[in-house]
Structure 1
């Protein structure tokens, strides 16, 4: 604690207290697989028995009985004892806010309850870091955490931060402060208090605070990526010649460059737009032609379908996505993590594969990335591919961005442009320019509106009449995208208007009717479009990508929404023949370049923009890219690379 305060005050150099990050020892065996977040979401966990004592305690504290099952999941079977000793641990239960935890604590503790109680401040610190993770940050600078505590009436926020570190609820890390003073610090609280190198002239450092959960994920990911690089053996002889022939036969120069990079390295980064997805598909096909067990995993089921179409069946073979190897080559990330898809595991617990390409890598949060990498065998090849201009992962971390910035592996930037007027428009947005494009076939249409009411009216008209008539895309293949769920032209209002036109009904199954278009979101960042089939006492039955999903009644309100209109965050990883992007005036402040780029790139053949934000749209595109998330991964990657160079 003295070390932390001395460095924060500038009195001492961090080098006096902190050792350099130590690289993990290299072994020929992969680490035991890290349990991945359950792809099935909370409803897949099954019913939970709530002990009578816990139910009575919740009632005593004025908390709803419905919190019982969630408390058991979050705090374990000893939830009653945990909450009796520290009522503010109720904040660990999903959906509980500080005001509710304070009320629960007051009911149990009476006059002994105070805003400066160390139990309260420690639980608040953890809750704030978990909230920051929802915005993508794996760590925060001390000033940002203290500022957050101050907003909840903590009397001594700086002291509370120190106490949280002292008690071990929050971990302190040193991180290199990069030349621009920002490092990978992002939107939450500034650069992270960079300090000079002190008398020893070392590199500037900054202090960051985080939770062990995300620290372990980032450290495990960095070590796993370094393991892949150190255990990979470049091919020689006939195998090397086979890779050279495969590169020469690649369909484009960028695909040839990617095949060549993957031949020589165990870790490769590939970036590009939608058309560039053909390049990792060409790599997988080439690797399979050489007899390797090669697979590619996309973020969504729609992405997996598009990938399978690019791969196609090999000559003389039937099946999905290149069946020259064992099983279909096209997977989803969640399917691979859950063991539903892919090659399965070998006797050592690693995936039985030689090469894995992960498409849509910007949507990988650090925990899922760590789970994937730790399950790859020694000597395997990993290619992380994606479009860096898209909205990032719904969870903590910025894996692809940090790997690009760290420059610890070969990087292939695709030179394949997205085709057509929509591709030209989106490419300009990625560069910060909102250009007028020639659209002789009405591929891009701008529909100006004066207010939200007109925006809703014109959206329904476009989906139901104009796009089917002029473009030939039916309403069920047109997706509406808007910035938020609320507001006068958010998803709720737009879905109500579209349901009235396309599938009117009483909403007899919790607001839904058979035939309703919906999106099922079992967990953060996982959105599956579907259609309501039926509903009964067991739950709501959906048809999602050809399989039936039953959502329990108690989970319907939290995980199912009507899906004629969705947000850009929900649309990431999916595309439709036509997209209608709605920009109501009250949503202007929600726009940035990444949002516009993501929303405008969801239409394959046609894009209509219902435009009611005036100059806010070009301003959002012209402003710089979204500020980076606060993470430690790039520093860890660089430390691993430096250790490898020193050892070599």
Structure 2
């Protein structure tokens, strides 16, 4: 984007944010702009997003429930050359008035998931004829929003001007700079200028003592563009985290909590307890073994009378945390320690204070809420924190009462959240709260291998009991054959780990050795059948994904006219027939993104030669780390594997949270004490 255009946008953003002028004084288009919400407006605004539905819940409108497609919309889609089957997703996305919206602005079709720009262009040409030009403001605004939505799918909450301009140019937009201006002017996109962390402001060369300094020296800034929902989520999250820091009173906590640190099961657990006893916000980094430190923290807090809970990303993680908490709550004589349940909670056993983030936000499990709607907790420890996106994290923090303690724990080396944002990484980088790094390594050869990958080294490890096995292959066909052989025969026979405790992990769904090809081969060997219900049979292993980033691996128990009945961890889930194609896949093989937060006794990681471009250190670290005891690597990637580990740590996401955290915590920090002026 040109310097003149950037300067013009900066001037517009400053004036609009200060309230001095409206955006239409800078831009000539007739539509009045939507004013960026001020802090007071945000406080009064309703919550941005509905809480995730609990696993097994019946779908509501827009989630697979009954949707009536108006006849007017059907006719319009046919007129525009679009398939009638698009009627339902269009109605779900644009509402009952979709026909009128599309008649006035055919490029609104681009807001429907799965619709590509060229398809929206064809639809617009069919309705508008020669009026549908590449520079039509309706088209350019829709494309800007589309590019930002695509960026969100990659994990970004905002985009830089150059990235937007490049994307718009690929779609033949005549003037990308004007397109971004039009989107900002129309209120479809928000513009931000964030001060770069450049250290103390300086005026450049030293001035003579007689020269007056500038009243205000500007720091360098960067201009970013984003969608309202993600902007509000990050700003709300930053404000909420600052609130926890400033409302926390360490002197009000029970002395028994901090006193439990010396008796902690490990030095790192003791350090974590001390940090949580003295701060309302703590970050904790470590691998799988470090989860025991979180269990020790929650146990110590509850023993001291605090209402403490541990949250995880998956049901599998919740079960593992429950076992760790039970072990931490058991005395040397294997007698559970007596605990009195905090008010308002049912105490059914030592595993009670464990739930998933999704269930807590949906109100399906967890500590419950008080009369003011906040969670009834004094300490909340969130494992798998790298899996928290900006919206889920904001909803969780907004639910915490003033003075509560929040501990975010996770492995910084794993793949990030499915949604936009890198909450854990930004919070650690902001250095606004105590950060505890676990000194407890993951055990065994698999733990040693994964630890090396985390620092960019693919080391050979001693594996006397075949804990790590490399299986070289020359092509994808051989990779599929050897994978089936490992799961069905070699691993059970040599190591005693049955096929149901072994998980295959591969790079993607497509390709000759992707999840589709591997699952077809594994089903034929492990559970052959005709696929009587939408391609599934009782006994099939499946991956159920009711929402992006939330995957449970289980088996098909049965099927009838009400849907597919699944057994996932300790849940029984019924998926309605019309939701099966969207949310259920065969699950003998999954991707590393789907496997995040899950763990199996054995894992078979498939690295086909045609997928080497997708390999990164984060991907390899996550995939290899899903194995608790045994890891087989079906290796056809050649030198691409060590190169990815050494040179491709993973793409950094474009977010604002780190800057917002710095600003929020600086603004919330108490002013330094100043001596009172002497009384005359």
The 1:294–1:32 alpha-carbon spacing in structure 2 relative to 1, beyond 3 Å, is: farther
The 1:334–1:383 alpha-carbon spacing in structure 2 relative to 1, beyond 3 Å, is: same
The answer as to whether partners of 2:450 and 2:624 remain within 8 angstroms in 1 is yes
Matched residue, 1:221: 237
Q: Deviations over 1:548-582 (max 9, x none)?
A: 32223333222211111111000000000000001
* 1:527 CA drift (Å): 0.7
Structure 2: 5+ residue runs without aligned partners? 20-35, 200-213, 347-351, 673-680
Superposed, 1:315-330 pairs within 5 Å as 324-325=341-342, 326-327=345-346, 328-330=352-354
Matched residue, 1:578: 602
User: Among 149, 152, 164, which residue is 2:171 paired with?
Assistant: 152
Q: Given the two structures, how large is their TM-score scaled by the length of structure 1?
A: 0.91
Matched residue, 2:442: 418
* 1:291 CA drift (Å): 1.0
Separation of aligned partners in 2, 1:17 and 1:554: 47
The 1:30–1:403 alpha-carbon spacing in structure 2 relative to 1, beyond 3 Å, is: farther
The answer as to whether partners of 2:48 and 2:229 remain within 8 angstroms in 1 is no
Which stretch shifts more, 427-436 or 242-251? 242-251
Superposed, 1:289-368 pairs within 5 Å as 289-312=303-326, 314=329, 324-325=341-342, 326-327=345-346, 328-368=352-392
Q: Does 1:7 align with 2:7?
A: yes
The answer as to whether partners of 1:351 and 1:377 remain within 8 angstroms in 2 is yes
The answer as to whether partners of 2:52 and 2:359 remain within 8 angstroms in 1 is no
The 1:80–1:323 alpha-carbon spacing in structure 2 relative to 1, beyond 3 Å, is: farther
Q: Deviations over 1:350-406 (max 9, x none)?
A: 111111111101000100011100111111111111000000001100000000111
3-state secondary structure, aligned to 1:594:
helix
Matched residue, 1:253: 267
The 1:138–1:481 alpha-carbon spacing in structure 2 relative to 1, beyond 3 Å, is: same
Matched residue, 1:188: none
The answer as to whether partners of 2:13 and 2:192 remain within 8 angstroms in 1 is no
Separation of aligned partners in 2, 1:118 and 1:448: 54
Structure 1: 5+ residue runs without aligned partners? 181-197
The 1:105–1:322 alpha-carbon spacing in structure 2 relative to 1, beyond 3 Å, is: farther
Matched residue, 1:489: 513
Which stretch shifts more, 48-57 or 85-94? 48-57
User: Among 534, 542, 547, which residue is 2:571 paired with?
Assistant: 547
Superposed, 1:516-555 pairs within 5 Å as 516-555=540-579
3-state secondary structure, aligned to 2:513:
coil
Q: Deviations over 1:323-370 (max 9, x none)?
A: 844241010011101100112111111111111111101000100011
Q: Does 1:263 align with 2:277?
A: yes
* 1:175 CA drift (Å): 1.3
* 1:40 CA drift (Å): 5.2
Matched residue, 2:90: 71
The 1:561–1:318 alpha-carbon spacing in structure 2 relative to 1, beyond 3 Å, is: farther
The 1:478–1:65 alpha-carbon spacing in structure 2 relative to 1, beyond 3 Å, is: same
* 1:455 CA drift (Å): 1.0
Matched residue, 1:120: 139
Separation of aligned partners in 1, 2:407 and 2:667: 22
RMSD: 2.9
3-state secondary structure, aligned to 1:235:
helix
* 1:281 CA drift (Å): 1.0
The answer as to whether partners of 2:317 and 2:598 remain within 8 angstroms in 1 is yes
Matched residue, 2:162: 143
Which of the pair has more CA radius of gyration? 2
The 1:17–1:114 alpha-carbon spacing in structure 2 relative to 1, beyond 3 Å, is: closer
The answer as to whether partners of 1:135 and 1:396 remain within 8 angstroms in 2 is yes
Q: Does 1:276 align with 2:316?
A: no
User: Among 450, 454, 472, which residue is 1:448 paired with?
Assistant: 472
Q: Does 1:205 align with 2:205?
A: no
The answer as to whether partners of 2:5 and 2:177 remain within 8 angstroms in 1 is no
Q: Deviations over 1:224-254 (max 9, x none)?
A: 1111111111135xx5531232111111111
3-state secondary structure, aligned to 2:224:
strand
Matched residue, 1:104: 123
* 1:471 CA drift (Å): 1.0
The answer as to whether partners of 1:575 and 1:603 remain within 8 angstroms in 2 is yes
The 1:48–1:312 alpha-carbon spacing in structure 2 relative to 1, beyond 3 Å, is: same
Separation of aligned partners in 1, 2:269 and 2:233: 31
* 1:162 CA drift (Å): 1.4
Superposed, 1:434-473 pairs within 5 Å as 434-473=458-497
Separation of aligned partners in 1, 2:529 and 2:264: 52
Matched residue, 2:68: 49
The answer as to whether partners of 1:460 and 1:497 remain within 8 angstroms in 2 is yes
Which stretch shifts more, 353-362 or 556-565? 556-565
* 1:130 CA drift (Å): 0.6
Separation of aligned partners in 1, 2:398 and 2:560: 41
Q: Does 1:596 align with 2:610?
A: no
* 1:91 CA drift (Å): 1.3
The 1:406–1:13 alpha-carbon spacing in structure 2 relative to 1, beyond 3 Å, is: farther
Separation of aligned partners in 2, 1:514 and 1:319: 39
3-state secondary structure, aligned to 2:310:
strand
> How many residue pairs end up in the alignment?
626
The answer as to whether partners of 2:49 and 2:391 remain within 8 angstroms in 1 is no
Separation of aligned partners in 2, 1:323 and 1:497: 52
3-state secondary structure, aligned to 1:465:
helix
The answer as to whether partners of 2:54 and 2:364 remain within 8 angstroms in 1 is no
The answer as to whether partners of 1:393 and 1:525 remain within 8 angstroms in 2 is yes
Which stretch shifts more, 536-545 or 401-410? 536-545
3-state secondary structure, aligned to 1:66:
helix
Which structure's relative contact order is higher, taking Cα pairs within 8 Å and 6+ residues apart?
1
Separation of aligned partners in 2, 1:60 and 1:474: 56
Q: Given the two structures, how large is their TM-score scaled by the length of structure 2?
A: 0.87
Separation of aligned partners in 2, 1:485 and 1:133: 20
The answer as to whether partners of 1:481 and 1:565 remain within 8 angstroms in 2 is yes
